[in-house]
Structure formats: C-alpha cells, structure tokens
Amino acid sequence: MRIAANITLATVLGCMLIACGSEENKSYTDQMAEEHESDTMTVSYAQTDSGVVSGFFAKPQNAEGDLPGIIVIHEWWGLNDNIRMMTRRLAGLGYNALAVDLYNGKVAESPDGARQYMQIAQSNPKGTIDNLNQAYTYLTEQQSAEKIGVIGWCFGGGWSLQTALAMPDKIDATVIYYGQLVTDMDRLRTLNMPIIGFFGGQDQGIPPKTVKEFQDNLETVERDAEIYIYDDAGHAFANPSGTRFNKKAAQDAWQKTKAFLQKILKN
C-alpha cells in the first residue's frame, strides 16, 4: 500500500521543537496554518428529549458564498479538543463543519467513562440519528449548504456509516475512520453516495477480516467505495493526542480524505 507524505499537528509541533529550518518543513507549517484558519463558535443545532444540543461550528475565515457542509462525529471520548481541532482543519479546507455532540455535553476522561457514554448513545439509536438529522438540517437550512459530507472516528466512524444508511438520499460523501461496520448487503445496497474508509491492520475491535467483508460486499452491490487498511496501524491511529497515533498512516489517510472531499463536495 502506498503511503503518501502529508502533515499532522504532531509533525508541525515536532518540527517547531527541533527548529527545523528547511523550505520543505516551512511549507508544512504554512499548510497547517492555512488549514486552521477558521472562525469558530458554539451553536445550538438540535432539540432532543434531554434539551437543547450544542455543537462546535467552524467555517473558513472571510468565507464568501454558500459552502459544502460536513457533519463531524466525535470518538468515544466525546466532543473534545481533538475533535475541535479536526473541525477547524476541515473548515480551513473550505467547508462549513459542524461537530455534533452525541453525549449531551459530557466528555470522558477515562476509558470507563467513555464506555459508559458510548453505551448510552448506542442504546438509543433513534435519538442519535435524530440528533444527526438535525445537524444536517442546521447545515442545509441555516448555513445554506447544498452538499453534505459526514466524517467520524472510532465511535464516530460507526455513526458516520449509520448516518449514511439513515439518510442515503441526503448525504453526498461518507468518511469512516475505524468505525463499526455493517456488512449486510441489503442495507449496503441502499447507500447512494461515495464512501471512503480507513482501518488499522492491527485493530482487534474492527479486524481486517471484517473490513474485507465490508469492502467485498460493497463491491458486490456495486457501490462506490475506497477502503484502505494500514498494516502497521492499530485502532485510533489517526488521533495525534492518543497513544496509538501512527504518523505515517494518519498523514496518508488525511491526504486521501482531503482529496475525496474535494472531489465529491466541491467538484
């Protein structure tokens, strides 16, 4: 599998710490700065049985005209600083990005807490999909987005796929980072949008065997999908704040993500 060079926040900080001075590294820093040029705010985008739901919204600085929208779905930790960073990066690329909150304002600080919050959300799939539906409405009606993509990592990767399955005629592009998969061909046949997915070959929770079945079944039902497995990466390989971060795989996946979103949502 080809691994392309790109940039992550960890790379930039590392270069700054060791005072890298080459033009190549300078261009990396410039690129990262551009990807973070965005205006951000907390917005109320949904109403659920638990009350008003607030998300983190980011748009490009000095944006003009209607832009494509992206629903950003957090990992099992919740809507934390890492997800806000990724939302800003997406906005810096020219999208109106809304990071949803599926945990009612809670952010986990331990695996036990994350597991508890995730189980609550998973136990109410109807309510979770309603939350995501209202995020779609916010982007299309209040931000005038004509095309909508969805992206998620870990817990959010699974819900990225579930959003596509729940709104097959609304979502225009789906990005899955090591999320729980659906392999039932009757359900996959309902998908109407291109899909791209990134997985770790060392991931025990979502093993390559399951990923391959997902890929094969998408091909059988003739759906447009790009699926990548990074042999040396594990689960959560794209999270620079985590212990499983794999820079090489994360860089390649991010470059492919950018190209995919550009092709589907902007061209």
Residue 25 has pLDDT above 60, yes or no: no
Residue 17 has pLDDT above 60, yes or no: no
Q: If DSSP codes are grouped into helix, strand and coil, which group holds residue 229?
A: strand
Please report which confidence band the pLDDT of residue 35 belongs to, taking 50, 70 and 90 as the band edges: low
Where do the domains of the chain lie, and which CATH numbers do they carry?
Answer: 9-266 (3.40.50.1820)
Q: Residue type at 243?
A: T
What does the alpha-carbon distance between residue 187 and residue 37 come to, in Å, rounded to a whole number? 39
Per-residue pLDDT of 177-199, as tens digits, reads 999 999 999 999 999 999 999 99
Burial of 214 (C-beta count, 10 Å sphere; 0-12/13-18/19+): buried
- Determine what percent of the chain is predicted with pLDDT higher than 90: 81
Helix (H) or strand (E) holding 100: none
Burial of 94 (C-beta count, 10 Å sphere; 0-12/13-18/19+): middle
Tokens of 125: 């799939």
Cβ distance 152 to 128 under 8 Å?
no
Mean pLDDT value across residues 196-209? 97
pLDDT attached to residue 34: 53
Out of 34-43, 71-80, 139-148, least confident range: 34-43
What does the alpha-carbon distance between residue 47 and residue 110 come to, in Å, rounded to a whole number? 28
Compute how many other C-beta atoms are within 10 angstroms of the C-beta atom of residue 64.
Answer: 6
Residue 27 has pLDDT above 50, yes or no: no
Compute how many other C-beta atoms are within 10 angstroms of the C-beta atom of residue 192.
Answer: 14
| Bridge partners for 42 per DSSP | 56
pLDDT attached to residue 252: 98
Please report which confidence band the pLDDT of residue 36 belongs to, taking 50, 70 and 90 as the band edges: low
pTM: 0.86
Per-residue pLDDT of 209-235, as tens digits, reads 999 999 999 999 999 999 999 999 999
Buried b (16+ CB within 10 A) or exposed e, 132-153: bbbbbebbeeebebebbbbbbb
Could you give the angle at the alpha carbon of 264 between the alpha carbons of 260 and 266, nearest 5°?
A: 105
Per-residue pLDDT of 106-138, as tens digits, reads 999 999 999 999 999 999 999 999 999 999 999
Higher pLDDT, 39 or 161: 161
pLDDT attached to residue 39: 84
pLDDT attached to residue 50: 84
pLDDT attached to residue 184: 98
Q: Which is nearest to 92 in space by CA: 48, 162, 32, 160?
A: 32
Distance of CA 119 to the CA centre of its chain: 20
What's the mean pLDDT when you consider all of the chain? 88
Tokens of 238: 């794209």
What does the alpha-carbon distance between residue 104 and residue 47 come to, in Å, rounded to a whole number? 11
Q: Within 13 A of 241's CA, how many CA atoms are on the CB side?
A: 10
Per-residue pLDDT of 77-112, as tens digits, reads 999 999 999 999 999 999 999 999 999 999 999 999
| Bridge partners for 148 per DSSP | 69
**Phi and psi at residue 180, in whole multiples of 5°?**
-60, 135
Q: Residue type at 252?
A: D
